[in-house]
Each structure stands twice: as C-alpha cells, then as structure tokens.
C-alpha cells in the first residue's frame, strides 16, 4: 500500500509538473466541494525524501516488460490433405494445415500445431513460363508427371498442384476423359498429396472436377476450385468422394464468407480451404494482404465462416513484369524472378497463409526454411543453395 | 487499459467553431472529421494560429499525437520523417511515412567505393504507377573504431550527397567526432545501448539529433533505456530491437510485433517510437556464402521486417534485383487502403488517333492494370476502352466473370466508340483470350486477341495490326 501511494504521488507530480492530464479510473470521489491546488504541488517536500527514487544519473533501472499477450476466442480449423494406405488412399503421408489459435507467427502468444506447407505447381501443357522456371525443370516440363517428380524428388515439395489448363475450350479443349487419365498417371508418379485444378472455365470445370474427384476417390485431394459462379458441382463431388474444396474469391472478404457459407451447406467445414486471391507484388499485393489479415483475425475472433485455412496461388507473382522482364537495368532475372515470388509469399506467410502454390523451387525452398526457423528456431540456413537453380 | 478511440467530438470543442470556411471542408465539424482520419493537419486551420487559441492548439496537438512518434531525420529539402503510426494493421486506417531505406558505407572503404555507393543510392529510381520509387539515405558505419577516420568518412559523404544520414558507431568518442562535422544535417545517432547510453544521450541532447536505442532481443532493456534517456530530455528516439535470420528470426519478428502492439494497443508510450530493421548485419556474420546468397537473405529479412512494422531499414547496397522487390513491397503496404482501387470506366484517347486506321484496345478498370497499360501505350495513337470490372485485374475479372461479353458490350455502347471509329475491330487482352467468341457474338465486331502483357502491345500492333490494313494508325507519336 505504501508503495502504491508513493507511485501515485510520484505520477501525480510528474503529470502536474508537465502538461499532463490525470485520468482516474475506478475511483469514486464523494465531496461537497473539491479544491485542487496546483500551486502547492511544486513543493511537496515530503515526497522527494520519502520515495526511494534512484538518482537519474546512477544508471539504468530495470523497469521490465510484459508482452501484450491476448486471448482469441476462435480457432482455425485443421484440414487434412492426402490419404495414406491405412486410411484408404495411396499417399505416403498426409499433410495437415490450420489449427492456429493466435495470429500468424505471434510466437509470444503461442505456437501453431502445424506449419504452412508448399505445393509445387505443374500444368498439363507448358504455359508461357518465365525463363528461370523453365531452367529449373528443363525437359521435365514436357511431361507433367516428370515435372511433378522433379518437384518432389529434387526440391522436396510437400504437395503437387496439377492444373488442367489445356481443358479450356479456348485453349486445347482437352476432353475430360483424357485429362482425368493424366490425373491417374500422376497418382502413380508421385506419392505426396495432390491439388487438382481445372482451367477456370466454369462450364468445363463443372464437368471436369467431378470426374477428377471420382478417379481420386479415397485420396483426399484438394479440388481447385469452387467459385461463386460454379461451386455446387465441386461441393457435391467433394462430399461424395471425401475430398477438400478450394473456395476461390476475388480479394473480397464478403464473397469469401458467402461462398464458405454455401459450401458448408454441403460439406463438413474441415473440407474447405479458402483462396482469397494472391495478387502479385506491385500489382495489388496489398489488397490481398489486407484481406488475408482481416479474414484470419475474423476467424480468430470467432467468425466460424472464416475459420478455414487459407491457400495462396503465389505463382501469380510471376504476372508482374518486374519478375520476368529481360532488362539488364533490373539485374539478373534468374535471381530477380524467384525473389519476386518469394517476397509475395513472405507477405502472405505473415498474413496467415497456410498453403502456398509456387512455380519456382528457390522461393519454395526459402519459404520452407523460414517456416522451419519460425516453427523450430534451430535449423541452419540452407536455401541460398537454391537460388538460381539451373544455373 | 487502451487509449480511447479518438473521435471528431473530442476535437470539435477545441476548434474555433466559427465555420469560417477557410479550410477545405468549410465547417469545423468537417475539419474535425478530417483531423481524425489524418486527411488534414492542424496547420490547415488558419484561425488556430491566433494566440487566443494557443491553449486549444496545444491540447489538440496532444490529442492528435500518434501512439508511434513521428521523427525527422536530415534537414533541408531531403529531410525525411519516419514513424507517426496510428494503427497496427493497414486496413484499420493506413500506414504513414513509408519505411525509409538507408544503404551503408564504412570508414574502411576506399574513397571511390564510397562515392560509388553514394551515387548508386541517390540515383536509384524506379517509375511505378505514376510516381518514382527511391532510396532515402546513407548510413555511415565506423568499422575501424578510429574517430578521425570516421569523421573523415562522414565529411566525404556529406560532400557527396544531401541525403539524410545515419551515424553508426557504438563508441561515443567516435560518434562525437562524426557529429562534430554533421550535426547540422540532423543525422540519426545509431545507437545507444546498455553500455554507452549516458554519453549517447548527452550527444543527442547537445546536438538535437534523433537517437536510436538498441538492445538485442530484450524489450525490457529497451524500455529501461528509453525511460532513462527520456529523463535526460532526449525525446526523438527510434528503437532497434535487433534483426537476424536463422535461429534469431523468431525473436526478431516477435520483438517487432510486441513493441508495436504494446505501443498502439497497450498505450506503452516508452515503446511508442519508430522501429529500425537492420538486415545489413547479415553481412557481418563472416560466412562463406556467395554475395548473391547474402543479398537474397537480406532482402527476405528486410521484407519480413517491413511487414512487421519497421519504419527505417538499413541494407548494405542498392543492388537492383534484391532492392526492387523491397521498395515495391513498401510502396504497396504504405499506400492508402481508403483510396479507390479502380479508375473510372470509359473511353481514353491517346495521341491523335485516326478513326479509320487506329486500333481500339480494351482493359479492366483495376487501377494498377490501367496505369500499367497506360505507361505502355501512352506514346501511341490509339483508343483504349476501360471496362467496369469492379476494380479487378483482367485475369481475376475473367475468372470471376467481371470481365465478360456483356461488360464489353456495355462499354462499347456507353463510350460511343462506334461513332468515333469507322472500323469494327477490338483488341482484347491476351489474359481474356477465352472470351473471344462470346465477345464477338455479343458486339458483332471482329475480336483480335492481344498480348498477355501490355508491354507487348507496340510489338503486337506492328506485327498484327498492320497486317489487317490498318497501318499506320497505331504509330508512335
């Protein structure tokens, strides 16, 4: 009590000596007339002798610190991708993401049960790819299964993402049957969990993705993707064959929520991962970043429709011309391009992304290393070996 | 206990309340609203400078003081301000004062090396959506520990540039020598720590220069140092809580997050100072990695520190490939989220297009897409239709069906382009290739699929447009 009074008097003097204001909380004053006399305060002779204030010149006084640990009522759901033999699939391991109960990498508030993971991106036809990506995979690009194997065997990808872009009626219009047989080949070629995407053409995807779901029955793949204009066939297929749905929304938290609500009418919530769109660095990254932060905080604060783990199509970073342009003034693009993708990924990592889909192994490896340091804090740096892979 | 959110009603009673109309909102209440949102400053209310409002002005200043202090470094035209943050997350309002980037020279470098570094830093520039991205200053580091050689280096740099400076030495004697020749430039004194804080505080107090406080990884020590240094009357402080990769990374990130959270949500005024990230220290670790690997790490670390609130960043050099992602990231995160993401849909005319031979292009109304296209075609004679994609980029808009045949038909009719040109050919973005057939059906024009990136437009027109009898209507102005 003595100390409390001393502290109060000290802070009173400090406040009133300057231009400070005093705010009293939880104090009731009962008085008919209250006189506060400021003139007397400069004196207050008793206090200086009474308070064992360390002389300011005597050195440093440890005044300590209490970290701002808060509690969050909500928790991000855990979602399992891939199914092992024991669970009716053929994957050598499954991957669990989500489970966070604190903001991303607020390690002073708590650690997450699962670390973010990286999926290596492959396509069923060679799309316009930047040079550094081509050089990292060489001839393997011509064969999606070889490309996927390179990701897993050489670059240690946790998952593979195959996008069946050639099924687009305006590209090659590859028939569903042929696209699906490639998926079957991929299941044989690699044993990590799979993400299988369509071309983004809603009519074609509505026919394609249910067939993909069927041939992957038991494998618990991630079907990519359901959108506001085409979600029902994907949701039904995921429900029937026990897969997970990637719910894509265009940098819009309300649409993300609405789509989740629709999907949750068909699916258990732990079969949904959200993709709130990853705009490229320099081309709207900040809008994606803020939507991700808002989604994650809303989930932690208890919004059950936003408690799904989040995925990022980080490969979008390569849409930025700064990533791929041949321009000596911008420096060597075999470093610049992968770093562009990596920088985007780092922003999204700290905004709450749980699953990255990337096209260059250098960035993928950097994210894995950084996640390792943050999760365990002990791993030695390894990723510099992977810069400019293929050179 | 957190600071109550400041509302216009906290400010209005202190304003003149005359609605004199000398400010832009014209009314005192409107002005109070703008003050809260930091759209206007007190200086923009002319009556407030009257001595009779002196007391109110001081109260207003105190109310409006941001929980993270704003500190000026440098003097004259190149003065910069760092900090001044009101929020933890940019979506809560916006971040102020873009993270400043300093590159480093040291007193063991040869004169031409110093001159090169300074020149590269001051000439770094990248044009980006209507403005130019630049670096902010030079950090001069004492490696030799010798006061004379530090002073000489400071003088050399001072003679080369007007950019703001950071003087970097743990030795108060060395620092004093540097300040002797540079204190008129108001450099940042970097840094006070547990061993030297009394002398550093004395130097800061005497010179009036801002002072950085450093304690590797221990926020309690930082608070103690700041408390003691503030008691000596030094108010313009920054905080460097340490910055490292590998096993140091979790602590580095946590310290930044904790300090900023405590300052803003916890009203911890001792921590209410701008934060420094110093990833340049990665170069000190004496490892045998190639330079490019260290640059890669340095850039990654700087980006993470930027996202976790650093207001000032010290990197080694302005290598373009590793610095460009960082300056773009900073620019992105510090732009005002309240600004519209979109531009007005409609017709834009470039140069003096010919109604018979000039091409008609179309793009989305996402601001970044629009400005990118603009920079690629502004020297051509052509028409550009900006479709209302609700602020989405072309690829997102195609996927989300915000760029579709109907939207194209809408802009064709509302823009009156049919009266402007006699031909009926529209060039759509390569990223919207799959909509070609739908658009043709909807507008009854010929549709050509343009390049995927607008940088390819001039080359595309040269090759494809001339080939369909329209030459040379697209030509350069």
The residue of chain A nearest to residue B261, with distances taken between CA atoms, is A68
Given an 8 Å threshold on Cβ–Cβ distance, is A227 in contact with B299?
no
CB pairs under 8 A between A and B: 211
Backbone Cα Rg of chain A = 28
Nearest-CA neighbor of A100 among A377, A355, A346, A344? A355
pLDDT at B204: 98
A171 to chain B, any CB pair closer than 8 A? The answer is: yes
Query: For residues B239 and B275, is the Cβ–Cβ distance under 8 A?
Result: yes
- Average pLDDT for residues B97-120, to the nearest whole number? 97
A28-67 residues touching B, CB cutoff 8 A: 56-57, 59-65, 67
Q: Which of A63, A168, A370 sits opposite B434 (nearest CB)?
A: A168
Strand partners, A245: A223, A272
A72 to chain B, any CB pair closer than 8 A? The answer is: no
Written as six digits, the tokens of A126 are: 């060679």
Given an 8 Å threshold on Cβ–Cβ distance, is B223 in contact with A65?
yes
- Average pLDDT for residues B249-254, to the nearest whole number? 92
Given an 8 Å threshold on Cβ–Cβ distance, is A61 in contact with B224?
yes
| E strands in B241-381 | 276-277, 312-314, 346-350, 360-364
Chain B residue numbers with beta carbons less than 8 Å from the beta carbon of A17 are none
Given an 8 Å threshold on Cβ–Cβ distance, is B398 in contact with A200?
yes
- Average pLDDT for residues B363-377, to the nearest whole number? 87
HEC assignment per residue over B88-147: CCHHHCCCCCCCEEEEEEECCCCHHHHHHHHHHHHHCEEEECCEEEECCEEEEECCCCCH
pLDDT at B476: 45
What percent of chain B stands above pLDDT 90?
73
Residue B469 pLDDT > 50, yes or no? no
Q: How far apart are CA A148 and CA B168, in angstroms?
A: 49
Q: How far apart are CA B176 and CA B147, in angstroms?
A: 8
What pLDDT tens digit does each residue of chain A (391 aa) get? 344 445 544 554 454 444 444 444 444 444 444 433 333 333 333 333 333 444 444 478 889 999 999 999 999 999 999 999 999 999 999 999 999 999 999 999 999 999 999 999 999 999 888 899 999 999 999 999 999 999 999 999 999 999 999 999 878 999 999 999 999 999 999 999 999 999 988 899 999 999 999 999 999 999 999 999 899 999 999 999 999 999 999 888 999 999 999 999 999 999 999 999 998 999 889 999 999 999 999 999 999 999 999 999 999 899 888 998 889 999 999 999 999 999 999 999 999 999 999 999 999 999 998 998 888 654 444 544 444 433 3
pLDDT at A108: 93
- Domains of chain A, by residue range, sit at 79-387
- Average pLDDT for residues B249-276, to the nearest whole number? 96
Model confidence at B399, pLDDT cuts 50, 70, 90, reads confident
For every residue of B449-474, DSSP letters joined together read: E--SSGGGHHHHIIIIIGGGT-TTTT
Q: How far apart are CA A237 and CA A183, in angstroms?
A: 16
For every residue of B249-283, DSSP letters joined together read: HHHHHHHHHHHHHHHHTS--GGG-S-BEE-GGGGG
Given an 8 Å threshold on Cβ–Cβ distance, is A343 in contact with B320?
no
Given an 8 Å threshold on Cβ–Cβ distance, is B261 in contact with A373?
no
| pLDDT, tens digit (0-9, with 9 covering 90-100), for B120-175 | 999 999 988 778 999 999 999 999 999 999 999 999 999 999 999 999 999 999 99
Q: How many CB atoms lie within 10 A of CB B378?
A: 13
Most confident of A81-85, A154-158, B58-62, B450-454: A81-85
Reported as half-sphere exposure (CB side, CA atoms, 13 A), residue A385 has a value of: 7
Query: For residues B75 and B185, is the Cβ–Cβ distance under 8 A?
Result: yes
Closest Cα in chain A, distance from residue B175 (Å): 21
| Distances A279 to A104, A283, A320, B47, B279 between C-alpha atoms, Å | 19, 6, 9, 46, 26
Q: Which residues of A128-147 are buried (b: 16+ CB within 10 A; e: fewer)?
A: ebbebbeebbeebbeebbbb
Given an 8 Å threshold on Cβ–Cβ distance, is A335 in contact with B321?
yes
Given an 8 Å threshold on Cβ–Cβ distance, is B265 in contact with A68?
yes
pLDDT at B211: 98
A79-98 residues touching B, CB cutoff 8 A: none
Out of A300-304, B19-23, B153-157, B180-184, which region has the weakest mean confidence (pLDDT)? B19-23
Q: How far apart are CA A56 and CA A47, in angstroms?
A: 16
Closest Cα in chain A, distance from residue B21 (Å): 31
Chain B residue numbers with beta carbons less than 8 Å from the beta carbon of A62 are 220-221, 224
- Average pLDDT for residues B248-256, to the nearest whole number? 93
Phi and psi (nearest 5°) for A79? -125, 130
pLDDT mean across residues, chain B: 91
Counting every residue, how long is chain A? 391
The residue of chain B nearest to residue A111, with distances taken between CA atoms, is B250
Q: How far apart are CA B82 and CA B227, in angstroms?
A: 21
- For residues B107 and B128, which has the higher predicted lDDT (pLDDT)? B107
Query: For residues A312 and A356, is the Cβ–Cβ distance under 8 A?
Result: yes
- For residues B226 and A22, which has the higher predicted lDDT (pLDDT)? B226
A107 to chain B, any CB pair closer than 8 A? The answer is: yes
Chain A residue numbers with beta carbons less than 8 Å from the beta carbon of B289 are 384
Chain A residue numbers with beta carbons less than 8 Å from the beta carbon of B322 are 331, 335, 339
Given an 8 Å threshold on Cβ–Cβ distance, is B90 in contact with A286?
yes
Residue B297 pLDDT > 70, yes or no? yes
Substitution target in A165, A173, A332, A335 with the highest count of B β-carbons within 10 Å is A335
pLDDT at A172: 93
pLDDT at A62: 86
A281-310 residues touching B, CB cutoff 8 A: 281-287, 289-290, 293-294, 297
pLDDT at A14: 52
pLDDT at A26: 46
pLDDT at B152: 98
Model confidence at B95, pLDDT cuts 50, 70, 90, reads very high
Say which CATH class A79-387 falls into. alpha beta
Written as six digits, the tokens of B104 are: 């480093």
Model confidence at B360, pLDDT cuts 50, 70, 90, reads very high
Q: Which of A200, A283, A297 sits opposite B368 (nearest CB)?
A: A283
Given an 8 Å threshold on Cβ–Cβ distance, is A281 in contact with B452?
no
Torsion angle (degrees, nearest 10) of CA B386, B391, B392, B398: -50
pLDDT at B331: 96
- Average pLDDT for residues B388-395, to the nearest whole number? 85
Chain A residue numbers with beta carbons less than 8 Å from the beta carbon of B372 are 283, 321
pLDDT at B270: 97
Closest Cα in chain B, distance from residue A86 (Å): 36
Which residues are CB-contacts of B5 (< 8 A; sequence separation ≥ 6)?
none
pLDDT at B338: 79
Model confidence at B4, pLDDT cuts 50, 70, 90, reads low
Given an 8 Å threshold on Cβ–Cβ distance, is A346 in contact with B303?
yes
pLDDT at B340: 64
A262 to chain B, any CB pair closer than 8 A? The answer is: no
Counting every residue, how long is chain B? 477
Structural domains in chain B? Answer: 8-64 (1.10.15), 70-333 (3.20.20.20), 346-465 (3.40.50.11600)
């Amino acid at each position: 009590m003595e100390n409390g009074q001393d502290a109060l008097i000290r802070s009173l003097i400090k406040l009133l000596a300057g231009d400070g204001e005093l705010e009293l909380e939880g104090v009731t004053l009962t008085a008919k007339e209250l006189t506060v006399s400021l003139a007397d305060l400069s004196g207050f002779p008793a206090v200086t002798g009474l308070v064992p204030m360390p002389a300011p010149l005597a050195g440093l006084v440890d005044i300590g610190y209490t970290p701002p640990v808060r509690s969050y009522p909500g928790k991000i759901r855990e979602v399992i991708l891939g199914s092992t033999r024991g669970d009716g699939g053929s994957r050598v391991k499954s991957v669990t993401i989500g489970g966070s109960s604190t903001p991303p990498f607020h390690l002073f508030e708590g650690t997450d049960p699962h670390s973010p993971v990286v999926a290596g991106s492959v396509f069923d036809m060679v799309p316009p790819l930047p040079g550094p990506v081509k050089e990292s995979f060489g001839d393997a690009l011509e064969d999606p299964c070889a490309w996927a194997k390179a990701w897993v065997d050489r670059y240690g990808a946790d998952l593979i993402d195959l996008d069946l872009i050639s099924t687009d009626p305006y590209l090659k219009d590859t028939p569903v049957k042929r696209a699906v047989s490639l998926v079957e080949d991929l299941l044989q070629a690699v044993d990590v969990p799979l993400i299988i995407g369509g071309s983004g053409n809603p009519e074609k995807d509505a026919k394609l993705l249910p067939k993909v779901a069927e041939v992957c029955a038991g494998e618990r793949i991630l079907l990519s993707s359901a959108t506001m204009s085409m979600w029902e066939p994907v949701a039904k297929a995921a429900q029937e064959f026990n897969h997970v749905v990637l719910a894509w929304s265009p940098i819009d938290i309300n649409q993300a929520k609405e789509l989740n609500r629709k999907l949750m009418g068909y699916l258990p919530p732990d079969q949904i991962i959200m993709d709130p769109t990853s705009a490229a660095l320099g081309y709207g990254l900040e809008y994606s970043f803020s939507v991700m932060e808002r989604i994650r905080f809303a989930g932690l604060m208890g919004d059950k429709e936003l408690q799904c783990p989040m995925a990022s199509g980080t490969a979008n970073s390569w849409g930025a011309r700064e990533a791929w342009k041949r321009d000596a003034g911008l420096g060597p693009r075999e470093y610049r391009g992968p770093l562009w993708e990596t920088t985007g990924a780092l922003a999204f990592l700290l905004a709450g992304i749980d699953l990255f889909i990337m096209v260059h192994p250098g960035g993928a490896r950097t994210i894995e290393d950084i996640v390792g340091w943050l999760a365990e804090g002990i791993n030695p740096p390894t990723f510099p070996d992977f810069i400019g892979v293929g050179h | 206990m957190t600071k109550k959110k400041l509302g216009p009603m906290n400010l209005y009673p202190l304003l003149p309340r005359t609605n004199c109309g000398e400010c832009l909102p014209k009314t005192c209440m409107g002005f109070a609203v703008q003050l809260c949102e930091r759209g206007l400053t007190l200086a923009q209310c002319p009556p407030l400078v009257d001595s009779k409002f002196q007391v109110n002005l001081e109260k207003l200043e105190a109310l409006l003081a941001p929980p993270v202090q704003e500190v000026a470094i440098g003097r004259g035209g190149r003065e910069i301000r760092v900090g001044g943050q009101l929020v933890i997350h940019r979506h809560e309002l916006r971040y102020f004062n873009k993270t400043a980037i300093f590159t480093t020279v040291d007193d063991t470098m040869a004169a031409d090396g110093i001159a090169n570094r300074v020149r590269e830093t001051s000439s770094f520039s990248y044009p980006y959506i209507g403005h130019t991205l630049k670096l902010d200053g030079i950090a001069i580091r004492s490696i030799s520990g010798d006061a004379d050689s530090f002073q000489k280096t400071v003088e050399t740099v001072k003679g080369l540039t007007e950019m703001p400076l950071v003087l970097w030495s743990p030795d108060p004697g060395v620092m004093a020598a540097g300040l002797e020749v540079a204190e008129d430039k108001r450099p940042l004194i970097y840094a006070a720590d547990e061993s030297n804080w009394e002398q550093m505080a004395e130097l800061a107090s005497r010179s009036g220069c801002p002072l950085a406080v450093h304690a590797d990884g221990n926020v309690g020590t930082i608070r103690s140092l700041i408390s003691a240094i503030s008691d000596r009357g030094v108010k313009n402080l920054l905080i460097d809580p340490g910055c490292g990769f590998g096993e140091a990374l979790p602590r580095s990130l946590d310290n930044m997050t904790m300090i900023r959270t405590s300052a803003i949500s916890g009203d911890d005024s001792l921590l209410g100072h701008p934060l420094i990230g110093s990833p340049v220290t990665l170069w000190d670790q004496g490892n045998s990695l190639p330079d490019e690997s260290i640059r890669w790490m340095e850039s990654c670390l700087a980006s993470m520190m930027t996202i976790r609130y650093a207001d000032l960043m010290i990197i080694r050099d302005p290598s373009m490939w590793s610095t460009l992602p960082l300056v773009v990231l900073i620019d992105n995160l510090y732009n005002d989220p309240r600004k519209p993401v979109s531009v007005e849909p409609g017709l834009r005319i470039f140069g003096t297009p010919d109604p018979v031979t000039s091409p008609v292009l179309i793009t989305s109304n996402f601001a970044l897409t629009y400005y990118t296209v603009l920079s690629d075609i502004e020297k051509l004679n052509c028409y550009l239709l900006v479709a209302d994609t609700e602020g989405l980029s072309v690829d997102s808009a195609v996927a989300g069906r915000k760029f579709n045949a109907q939207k194209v038909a809408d802009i064709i009719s509302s823009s009156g382009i049919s009266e402007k040109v006699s031909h009926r050919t529209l060039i759509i973005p390569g990223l919207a290739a799959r909509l070609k057939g739908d658009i043709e059906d909807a507008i009854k024009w010929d549709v050509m699929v343009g390049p995927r990136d607008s940088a390819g437009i001039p080359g595309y027109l040269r090759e494809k447009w001339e080939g369909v009898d329209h030459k040379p209507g697209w030509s350069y102005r």
